[in-house]
Amino acid sequence: MPNSHANSHTLLRVDNITFAYEQMRMQFDLAVNRGETLAILGASGSGKSTLLNLIAGFNQPLSGDICFQEESILAKAPAQRPITTLFQEHNLFNHLTVKQNIAIGLAPNMKLDADQQTALEKAAQQVEITELLNRLPGDLSGGQRQRVGIARCLARKQPLLLLDEPFSALDPALRQEMLRLIAKLNKAHSITVLMVTHNPDDALQIADNIAFVADGKIALHASTAILADENAPEVLKRYLGKR
Ligand code: ADP
Ligand code: MG
On whether both 54 and 166 belong to a single domain, the answer is: yes
On whether both 236 and 192 belong to a single domain, the answer is: yes
On whether both 147 and 109 belong to a single domain, the answer is: yes
On whether both 167 and 198 belong to a single domain, the answer is: yes
> For ligand 1, is residue 197 a contact (CB within 6 Å)?
no
On whether both 216 and 110 belong to a single domain, the answer is: no
CA of 132 to the centre of ligand 1 (A): 35
pLDDT digits (tens, 9 = 90+) for 6-37: 567 899 999 999 999 988 999 999 999 999 99
> For ligand 1, is residue 59 a contact (CB within 6 Å)?
no
CA of 44 to the centre of ligand 1 (A): 9
Residue-wise over 205-235: b if at least 16 C-beta within 10 A, else e? bbbbbbbbbbebbbbbbbebebbeeeebeee
Per the structure, the complete domain to which residue 42 belongs is given by: 35-62+76-82+158-243
User: Which of 18, 46, 52, 217 for mutating ligand 1's site (highest number of atoms within 8 Å of CB)?
Assistant: 46
> For ligand 1, is residue 48 a contact (CB within 6 Å)?
yes
What is the model's pLDDT at position 224? Answer: 96
On whether both 139 and 178 belong to a single domain, the answer is: no
Supply angle C-alpha 203, 207, 211, rounded to 5: 75
pLDDT digits (tens, 9 = 90+) for 171-225: 888 889 889 989 988 998 889 999 999 889 999 999 999 999 999 999 999 999 9
Average pLDDT taken over every residue of the chain: 92
